[in-house]
Amino acid sequence: MHFTVKTASLIGVEANPIDAEVDIKPVPSDSPGGIFLMVGLPDAAVRESRQRIRSAITNTGFYFPLARVTVNLAPADLKKAGSGFDLPVAVGILAANGDLGKGVERIGDTLFYGELGLDGRVRPVRGALAVAVACARVGIRRLVVSEESVEEAAVVRGVDVHAAATLADVVRLVRSIIGGHDPLPVRIDAEALLEGLNEYSVDFSEVKGQASSKRALEVAAAGGHNLLMIGPPGSGKTMLAKRIPTILPPFTFEEALETSVVHSVAGLTNGGGLVRVRPFRAPHHTVSDAGLVGGGAPPRPGEVSLAHNGILFLDELPEFDRNALEVLRQPLEDGNVTIARALMSLTFPARLMLVAALNPCPCGRWGDPTGQCRCTPHQIQRYVARISGPLLDRIDIQIEVPALQYSELASSKAAEPSSAIRERVMLARERQKHRYRNAGEPIRANSLMSARLVRDHCTLDEASQSRLETAVKRMGLSARAYHRILKVARTMADLAGRDRIAGSDVAEAVRYRSLDRNYWMA
C-alpha cells in the first residue's frame, strides 16, 4: 500500500511543507527481515530515524511490516535535515499498513512534526513555531506536535494545534479525525500574551548621573539608531546598554511573532510560546563570524538574527575579531543577513539596534582626569585601528560616557524612570509611523529611511544647510554619514514634536559624529 503524510523541513527561518510518501511492498522469501529504505536527500539524522521509528512502532504495540518499506521525502531535490520526520513517517507506515483503519485519507490536511523516542514518546523539535506559520501560509488545517512544543505553535492564528505525548496518542487522534470527531485543539489567548510582554527587571531610574548619555540613548531608541559609547571602565556603559530595551516601544504581536520564529528555529524558546521582551544579545568577544551572522550546516541564525527587533550589544568592541566585525556591514545596512552556499542562499532577518562600548585606550584611562593613562600613542592607535572606518561610518550616534563624580554616586535624588522615557520614545515613533504610512516601504523607525525619504522628509533651512556643509567638509564625512546625520536630526525633531528640523537638531546630530577617529587624535 501507499500513503502520503504531510510534514515540514526547516530552511533558514522558514519551514517548507514536505510530503512523506510511504510505500509498502512484499519482499522475496529470501529477505525474511524486511527492507527499510529512505530516499529524498536525507541527512544522517534523518537516515538514523529508521531505527527510532521501528522501535517506536513495535514498543507502542503495533506490527512493523516485514516487507519492503520505502519512504520518499518530496521534493527529492531539497536536502532534509533534523529529527522532525520521525513522527510523520511512523504515521505513514501505520496508515499504509492498515493499522489506522479505513478513511485515513481524511488526515490529508494534517501536518505531523516531531521526534520519536524508542518507547514511542513524542519529543520536541526546534522550529515548531516556524512550522505552524508555514501551515497557516499554505492552508494546512491541523498541526500535531509534542506536548512541549504545543504552547509555542498554538500562538499562530488559523491553525488547529494538537499535542501528543506518545505515538499511541497520535493514533487515537487520527482515529478520532477519521471517525468525524475532531478533538479540541489547544487554544492560546494572543491578547493575554500581549499583556504579559515587555516586562523588565531593570530600569533607568537605577542609573545615576550621565544625563547627556541618557539623552543620546533616548534619541537612539526613538529613531532606531546604532550607538557607540566610549568611556573608562566603570563609567556605566554596560549598565546603560542593558536598559535600552526598557525604553523601546512595546512589542507588537507581529514583532513578537517574527522574533519568536527566529528563536524557535535556533531552539531557544524551550516551548515557552512568544519571546516576551525585546532581545538583548551580548555575545562574548571570542565569537566567530559564523556565530555572529549565522552559518553552519545546515545554516542557523547567528547573534544578529537572534537580536532581530531588539539590541545587539558588543562590549569591548576592539577585542572582537576584525573579520567578525566586518560581516556586520550588510545587516546594519540592509536589515537582513544573506548566507550563500553552493546549493542554496538563505536570508535571515536582522533588523536591530547595534549598541557598542569600548574603552578609549587599552588601559582605559586616556582622557580620564581621575586616572593616569599608561598607554603610548602607538598602542592607542593600534587599539582603535581594530575598528574599521566603514563600520564606524554605520554607527549614527557616538558619545563619550565620562566617569561619575562622587557627588553623583552618593546622590539620593531619584532618576527618571524608563516608563517616562518610553512615553516620549513612543510618541516619536507614532509620528514616524504616521509620516511613512504611505511611503510604500516597510519603515518602522527613522534609521530605516531610504535616500528618497531622507530627501522628502529631512529638508533644512539655509542656516542649517550651511552648518551641515561646514561639518561635512571639516570632518571629512562620507555621503552615508551625511544621510545618517539628517536621520538623527529628524528623530530629534520628532522627540520635540516639530514638523521641521531645527538648526539645534542638526548641531546636536553633528556632535554625535564628532567621536569618530578624530576623537583619539585630539
pLDDT in tens, the chain (522 residues): 789 999 999 988 889 999 999 999 887 666 666 788 899 888 888 888 899 999 999 999 998 888 889 999 999 888 888 889 999 999 999 999 888 888 888 899 999 999 999 999 999 999 999 999 999 999 999 999 999 999 889 888 889 999 999 999 999 999 998 988 888 888 887 667 666 566 788 889 888 888 899 999 999 999 999 999 998 888 889 999 999 999 999 888 888 889 999 999 888 877 667 788 889 999 999 998 888 988 877 788 999 999 999 999 999 999 999 888 998 988 888 888 888 776 678 888 999 999 999 988 888 888 777 668 888 888 888 888 888 888 888 999 999 988 887 777 777 787 889 999 999 999 999 999 888 888 776 777 888 888 888 888 888 888 888 888 888 888 888 888 889 999 999 999 999 999 999 999 999 999 998 765 455 554
3-state class (DSSP) for residue 357: strand
Residue 157 lies in a domain: yes
H/E stretch holding 345 reads strand 345-349
d(CA 424, CA 131): 38
H/E stretch holding 398 reads strand 397-400
Maximum pairwise Cα distance, the chain? 94
3-state class (DSSP) for residue 332: helix
Residue 217 lies in a domain: no
Residue 510 lies in a domain: no
Contacts (Cβ under 8 Å, ≥6 apart) of 84: 7, 8, 9, 10, 113, 114, 115, 125, 127, 131
For the record, the C-alpha cell of 53 comes out as 521509528
Distances (CA, A) of 156 to 186, 258, 260, 483: 11, 11, 11, 39
Residue 235 lies in a domain: no
Q: Are 48 and 383 in contact (CB under 8 A)?
A: no
Contacts (Cβ under 8 Å, ≥6 apart) of 515: 228, 230, 398, 399, 400
Contacts (Cβ under 8 Å, ≥6 apart) of 236: 207, 209, 210, 213, 401, 404
Give all strands of the β-sheet with 160-164 in edge-to-edge order: 35-39, 68-74, 14-25, 2-11, 110-112, 142-146, 160-164
Please name the amino acid found at residue 237.
Answer: K
d(CA 212, CA 332): 25
Q: What is the pLDDT of residues 251-280, one digit of tens each?
A: 888 888 899 999 998 888 776 677 888 899
Residue 76 lies in a domain: yes
For the record, the C-alpha cell of 439 comes out as 511611503
For the record, the C-alpha cell of 371 comes out as 586616572
Residue 159, Cβ neighbours under 10 Å: how many? Answer: 22
For the record, the C-alpha cell of 414 comes out as 531619584
Which residue from 509, 504, 399 is spatially nearest to 454, judged by alpha carbons? 509
DSSP state of 121: B
For the record, the C-alpha cell of 151 comes out as 504552547
Which residue from 518, 520, 515 is spatially nearest to 216, judged by alpha carbons? 515
What total number of domains does the chain contain?
1
d(CA 293, CA 232): 29
DSSP string, 264-330: HHTT-STT--S--S--EE---TT--HHHHHEETTTTEE-HHHHTTTSEEEESSGGGS-HHHHHTTHH
Residue 213 lies in a domain: no
d(CA 8, CA 131): 7
Q: Is the dihedral of CA 125, 130, 133, 137 positive or negative?
A: negative
186 φ/ψ sector (left φ>0, alpha ψ -120 to 50, else beta): beta
For the record, the C-alpha cell of 214 comes out as 541618557
Residue 86 lies in a domain: yes
Distances (CA, A) of 513 to 4, 118, 143, 351: 60, 61, 52, 22
d(CA 37, CA 22): 10
Phi, psi of 273 (to 5 degrees): 75, -135
For the record, the C-alpha cell of 187 comes out as 487554544
> What is the extent of the structural domain holding 62?
2-188
| Alpha-helix runs per DSSP H in 395-478 | 406-409, 418-435, 451-457, 462-475
Q: What is the pLDDT of residues 379-391, one digit of tens each?
A: 888 888 888 888 8
Residue 162 lies in a domain: yes
DSSP state of 120: S
